[in-house]
Amino acid sequence: MSRHDHQLHEGDSLKEAARDRLTSEGEQWTDMRAAVFDALASFEKPASAYDVAEAVSKSEGRRIAANSVYRILDLFVGANLARRVESANAYIANRHPECLHDCIFLICDDCGQTVHIDDDSLSASVRKAAAGAGFSAPRPVIEVRGKCGDCEPN
Amino acid sequence: MSRHDHQLHEGDSLKEAARDRLTSEGEQWTDMRAAVFDALASFEKPASAYDVAEAVSKSEGRRIAANSVYRILDLFVGANLARRVESANAYIANRHPECLHDCIFLICDDCGQTVHIDDDSLSASVRKAAAGAGFSAPRPVIEVRGKCGDCEPN
DNA sequence: TCACAGATGTTATATTGTATCGGCAGCGGC
DNA sequence: GCCGCTGCCGATACAATATAACATCTGTGA
């Protein structure tokens, strides 16, 4: 597996990295966006836009419409601050927003735990296979539904 | 890319293969299921359950609820007669229901054209990468959103 | 005939996602 | 200051996707 020296942020470090990334795209880091990012990052598992809306509503002490959350999540995905997990209709914070991978998600069907791996050689193979069929592949979606080590009886 | 001698069915041949596959699983091949399969196979592109419901309603001359279609599509997916395209919330008929692949979908974001490739070595690599993270991977989801040769300006 | 199981019908509801409009805050030009 | 522009957000409605609960039908075997 390919390896490199990127950093996996957490807590304030992650938040800062996210803010830097977003502002470097010419977008604003508003209170609302910070709240949405906090809420998203606080989840261990992929969270639906509605889960995030609920969490933000709680933290803000007022009702936040899903609508607003969608707008912000879309922005985040575009800026690489978050990823959409297609097979779960959900979103997950990107722990290293500063570097761009075609990442691979492993989602446990039992407990929902999700880990992601960045195997650039593997995703490159997928791109290449797509190119072989005449497709350009800006966005490979590689997700694996299965069972994690804890849930797998083994 | 790995190759083997499976057959790509179409028309009546496909329908027969589907029926044989389903009955060999101990399930019934009813008129309703045949109608749903026909409708699904008649689409060039991935079709939503509601699209299929509409098509079946037309062919049957009476309203078929999405509900019934979902039940049957789930059955089809379980029996390998159809695949769910996660990133499109849609379904597509499997042209070779008798053999089991971890297939890879290439979906054109512009025209919706979808082709699938069966690259067992590639999907094996994905399984292996998942196993390396402690995951068992009964269901790899490999989908590539991009542009097909016709839509890519090139 | 009766009981039962599987398939389908019917209706309702839950979840996810989009469209539209209007308000408001910031900001630069005048 | 005042105006008009732009980006962000609130609010509502609506569309699309998915599931749940229960009724009905139909064939099969006791």
Per-residue pLDDT of A84-140, as tens digits, reads: 999 999 999 999 998 888 999 999 999 999 999 999 999 999 999 999 999 998 889
Share of chain A above pLDDT 90, in %: 81
pLDDT at B70 over 60: yes
Of B residues 92-131, those with CB within 7 angstroms of nucleic strand C are none
Q: pLDDT per residue over B98-149, tens digit each?
A: 888 899 999 999 999 999 999 999 999 999 999 999 999 888 999 999 999 9
Instruction: Protein contacts on strand D: list nucleotides below 7 Å from a Cβ.
Output: 7-13, 16-21
Could you check: is the Cβ of residue B113 within 7 Å of any atom of nucleic acid strand D?
no
Nearest by CB to B149, which of A106, A129, A134? A134
Q: Among all chains, which residue has been given the structure tokens 């979906």?
A: B107
pLDDT at A6 over 70: no
Of B residues 58-87, those with CB within 7 angstroms of nucleic strand D are 66-67, 70, 74
pLDDT band at B5 (very low <50, low <70, confident <90, very high): low
- Residues contacting B6, CB < 8 A, separation 6+: B96, B98, B99
Mean pLDDT along residues B88-93: 98
Query: What is the distance in angstroms between the Cα of A60 and the nearest Cα belonging to chain B?
Result: 32
Nearest by CB to A140, which of B115, B144, B147? B144
State how far the Cα of B82 lies from the Cα of B58, in Å rounded to an integer: 21
Positive or negative: CA dihedral A95, A96, A97, A100: negative
Backbone phi, then psi, for B140, in 5-degree steps? -70, 140
Mean pLDDT along residues A7-34: 89
State how far the Cα of A51 lies from the Cα of A89, in Å rounded to an integer: 11
Average pLDDT along chain B: 92
User: Hey, what are A84's tokens?
Assistant: 């959409």
Residues of B in contact with A149 (CB under 8 A): 134-135
- Residues contacting B147, CB < 8 A, separation 6+: A135, A136, A138, B108, B109, B110
State how far the Cα of B132 lies from the Cα of A54, in Å rounded to an integer: 35
Q: Does B153 touch chain A (CB under 8 A)?
A: no
Average pLDDT along chain A: 91
State how far the Cα of B101 lies from the Cα of B91, in Å rounded to an integer: 16
Interchain contact, B152 vs A136, CB within 8 Å:
yes
pLDDT at A1 over 80: no
In angstroms, the CA of B50 and the C1' of C3 are apart by 36
* pTM given for the model: 0.91
pLDDT at B3 over 50: no
Positive or negative: CA dihedral B70, B72, B74, B80: negative
Q: Is A36:A56 a contact under the CB 8 Å cutoff?
A: yes
